[in-house]
Structure 1
């Protein structure tokens, strides 16, 4: 069993002894991995290596055959599907390669969707969602539908949707895979900066060394095992520079001043 853990802080998310097979194919062969609040972790590996399976197990999308997944000390793998679904909606956020925005909804309602699914009144949820648009360079795009956005703009909307509910962990599966290199680097730098500024952990599955270079650590998966782990000092320096620049530009947590008028929204 491989053991790779960060020592900089107590992990917010940890997988220990993770094993997963599909029929005769072994996807995970006993993996330990963890990520701390405010830290970004890149997971790399060739196609079929098990990196996406690792993400799915950590995110509660699939249960491992063996091992444990703990979120702030709570066993995720022992939860039933309704509880894991609730967890994915409230404490996790997701950014996918295609964005997976609903084409019939404007951008602000796409961002507000997790809040509305959680029972927040639509008007309040949309108002909270709109706070993210200027922070992510999307001012004026609130009413546009996904088909009216560029690929980079759509991924920024997806980032806002992932962060709007104040999750503890963000999972990003090839978040720049459908973008050109320049736009992709803008998106990953923004994703790392915003998750760090919110104190959320970030797990990025990628095949791109440049994307991994923006993350604090990189693990590589091959044949269901972690074959190496290394810090990315240059990437960490970029991360810090981006985060500081974001803070200087006023990138912080959106105003959370909605409780006072919550009753009028219901």
Structure 2
């Protein structure tokens, strides 16, 4: 399996606190990696560094073999828009836009005409069980529906990697299971890799691999067969 995203020797400190102490991680083609650990273990810091949201104090991040952590802000912002997709705990949908325009927004921001962007966005509604909800605004959606819209938005740009930060944290167990099944299946079928932070072992078990983080270091690693 070829490596899509990698971090080597990643170090991050906040004052006297070491969030990451020299972490190495590799994410393969169509890989699904869950990062787990107790509060303050460094798992969210690791995701944010891999996603180009924050920069490491030491070490490097490579996307398909090219170093990206040292890019200027404009190029790094473009990288996040074009090659990464994001799913957050609370979806972060724009309340004034209907679902189809929330999904199309990353494409519109890249200069794709609105009509074309919406057509491309609608392609994700049936696979994610959202048929008929294209014109509903976030306030008219359930929590699970809103997260499925967020997944569609993340996949609309055809990213190399989707990053999910506690994507089921605001959902009940049954809805969370449904959402994570859709997330892992849809990312794999789209050709994207998935990096997910979760505190829930049942959610993490839907991924092909689990990375356990404690005190800023890798404390364990599990691998599964994903059908």
Name the CA distance, whole Å, in 2 between partners of 1:230 and 1:206: 15
User: TM-score, with normalisation over the residues of structure 2?
Assistant: 0.99
Name the CA distance, whole Å, in 1 between partners of 2:163 and 2:52: 11
Give the structure with the higher percent helix: 1
| Aligned match for 1:33, one of 25, 35, 52 | 25
Q: Which sections of structure 1, spanning at least 5 residues, go unmatched? A: 1-8, 241-266
Deviations 1:22-75 (A, max 9, x none): 111100000000111111000000111100000010000111000010000111
Name the CA distance, whole Å, in 1 between partners of 2:60 and 2:15: 21
Find the structure with the greater CA-based Rg.
1
Name the CA distance, whole Å, in 2 between partners of 1:47 and 1:84: 28
Give the deviation of 1:119 after TM superposition.
0.2
Give the superposed CA RMSD. Answer: 0.7
Match of 2:158 in 1: 166
User: TM-score, with normalisation over the residues of structure 1?
Assistant: 0.84
Q: Which has the higher contact order (CA 8 A, sep 6+)?
A: 2
Local SS of the residue matching 1:134: coil
Name the CA distance, whole Å, in 1 between partners of 2:191 and 2:135: 29
Match of 2:181 in 1: 189
Name the CA distance, whole Å, in 2 between partners of 1:182 and 1:77: 37
Give the deviation of 1:132 after TM superposition.
1.0
Match of 2:196 in 1: 204
Q: Does 1:71 align with 2:57?
A: no
Name the CA distance, whole Å, in 2 between partners of 1:104 and 1:52: 29
1:84-233 equivalences under 5 Å are 84-233=76-225
Q: Which sections of structure 2, spanning at least 5 residues, go unmatched? A: none
Match of 1:57 in 2: 49
Give the deviation of 1:199 after TM superposition.
1.4
Give the deviation of 1:232 after TM superposition.
2.6
Give the deviation of 1:125 after TM superposition.
0.4
Name the CA distance, whole Å, in 2 between partners of 1:181 and 1:206: 13
Give the deviation of 1:131 after TM superposition.
1.3
